[in-house]
Amino acid sequence: MDYKFHHLGIPTDRVMPDERYNEEFKMYTSDNPGFFRVQFLRFEPDSPAPSLIRSLPHVALQVDDLTQAIEGEDLLLGPYEPVSGYKIAFINDHGVPVELIETNLTAEELQARVER
């Protein structure tokens, strides 16, 4: 299995520019415009997202086969497809949340689908 860096996710309690709302998990996400692809996550107090995801930063890694990548792992969330062509799952890697992503979308294609 190959793992390729996709982004770094950082929980925050600050309102950030250009937030997108996820009703299912009662959370807002926003992307830092910098080169190294940092995403901020802000959760409502009653968010059903697991506490590890709400409280700790996570690395997001792109994989070729999400089903294979999560096999035997301690699954925190998912798998689900928040955007068409972009499947994700979060695992618990010994107390650290890790997001695994299966997609063939470029960053530009993903942004265009998110902005719809």
pLDDT band, residue 116 (cuts 50/70/90): low
Q: Quote the tokens at residue 58.
A: 């996570």
Using a 10 angstrom Cβ sphere, with 0-12 exposed, 13-18 middle and 19 or more buried, the burial of residue 98 is: buried
Q: What is the pLDDT of residue 109?
A: 75
What average pLDDT score do residues 3-30 get? Answer: 95
Q: What is the pLDDT of residues 46-104, one digit of tens each?
A: 999 999 999 999 999 999 999 999 999 999 999 999 888 899 999 999 999 999 999 98
Using the Cα atoms of residue 65, residue 67, residue 68 and residue 74 in order, give the sign of their dihedral. positive
Using a 10 angstrom Cβ sphere, with 0-12 exposed, 13-18 middle and 19 or more buried, the burial of residue 55 is: exposed
Q: What is the pLDDT of residue 101?
A: 97
Measured CA to CA, the distance from residue 47 to residue 45 in angstroms comes to: 6
List, in order of start, the domains of the chain with CATH numbers: 4-114 (3.10.180.10)
